[in-house]
Chain A
Amino acid sequence: QQQVKQSPQSLIVQKGGISIINCAYENTAFDYFPWYQQFPGKGPALLIAIRPDVSEKKEGRFTISFNKSAKQFSLHIMDSQPGDSATYFCAAGPVYGNNRLAFGKGNQVVVIP
């Protein structure tokens, strides 16, 4: 059972545009929501994470928006650059548990010059 559903599956954006990836989760016990970025041939790396005490978190050009009632969160990449072309994974888990994260299926973002 897919605990975290990610959409769209792939995204092509012009340089300077906004990339938006959405995630939905089902387990109300989840209260930690990270986004991981993976470049080809590399392992995933944490990009940004949020906990549900805030509805938005921004780090540079990357913003997470969180909607607790809808059980959804999204990643916004502002002023997208070709170097942002990567696969993005959302994940979710309970802060206090056994360190288990449920990952979404990943979203490939391609930023064209």
Chain B
Amino acid sequence: DTAVSQTPKYLVTQMGNDKSIKCEQNLGHDTMYWYKQDSKKFLKIMFSYNNKELIINETVPNRFSPKSPDKAHLNLHINSLELGDSAVYFCASSPFREGLETQYFGPGTRLLVL
């Protein structure tokens, strides 16, 4: 069983388009995250939700908008895609017991903007 799943796995699109990436976790975790990994493999936190409430909102362009319909899902919508958005986007989840816990990452969505 896949713990954290993302769709699609690959996304190739033209500049200016709007696209969404979906994430689902079946671990019963309360907290979900979106990370961006650039071509140099640097992992940067973008957003974090705890029980559908936004708790981390890093300095990312407002073209990126996360949506959490329930605590098992966290989607990422990107408007007006730019070349610099090309990266691998990882969703992750963690329990929210007492303090920091292991984050479980999805397989990633490879976005290429042409």
Q: How far is the CA of A40 from the CA of B55 in the complex (A)?
A: 30
Q: How far is the CA of A23 from the CA of B99 in the complex (A)?
A: 22
**Which of B41, B42, B55, B92 has a CB less than 8 Å from the CB of A98?**
B55
A3-53 residues at the B interface, CB under 8 angstroms = 32, 34, 36, 38, 41-46, 49
Q: Is B34 at the interface (CB under 8 A from chain A)? A: no
Q: How far is the CA of A108 from the CA of B31 in the complex (A)?
A: 29
Q: Is A77 at the interface (CB under 8 A from chain B)? A: no
- With A99-B55, A105-B40 in contact, is A43–B92 under 8 Å at CB? yes
Chain B contact residues (Cβ within 8 angstroms of A): what range? 20 to 34
**Contact between A95 and B105 (Cβ–Cβ < 8 Å)?**
no
B residues sitting closer than 8 Å to A (CB atoms) are 4, 31, 33, 40-45, 48, 50, 55-56, 90, 92, 94, 96, 98-108
A80-99 residues at the B interface, CB under 8 angstroms = 87, 89, 93-99
**Contact between B41 and A105 (Cβ–Cβ < 8 Å)?**
yes
Interface pairs (15), CB distance under 8 Å = A32-B100, A36-B105, A43-B4, A44-B105, A45-B104, A46-B103, A89-B43, A94-B99, A99-B33, A99-B55, A100-B56, A103-B42, A103-B43, A105-B42, A108-B41
- With A43-B92, A100-B45, A103-B43 in contact, is A93–B100 under 8 Å at CB? yes
Q: How far is the CA of A94 from the CA of B72 in the complex (A)?
A: 25
For the complex, count residues of A whose C-beta is within 8 A of B.
26
**Contact between B107 and A99 (Cβ–Cβ < 8 Å)?**
no
Q: Which residues of A contact B4 (CB under 8 A)?
A: 43
A residues sitting closer than 8 Å to B (CB atoms) are 32, 34, 36, 38, 41-46, 49, 87, 89, 93-101, 103, 105-106, 108
**Which of A99, A100, A105, A108 has a CB less than 8 Å from the CB of B101?**
A99
**Contact between A96 and B99 (Cβ–Cβ < 8 Å)?**
yes
The smallest beta-carbon distance between B11 and chain A, in angstroms, is 15
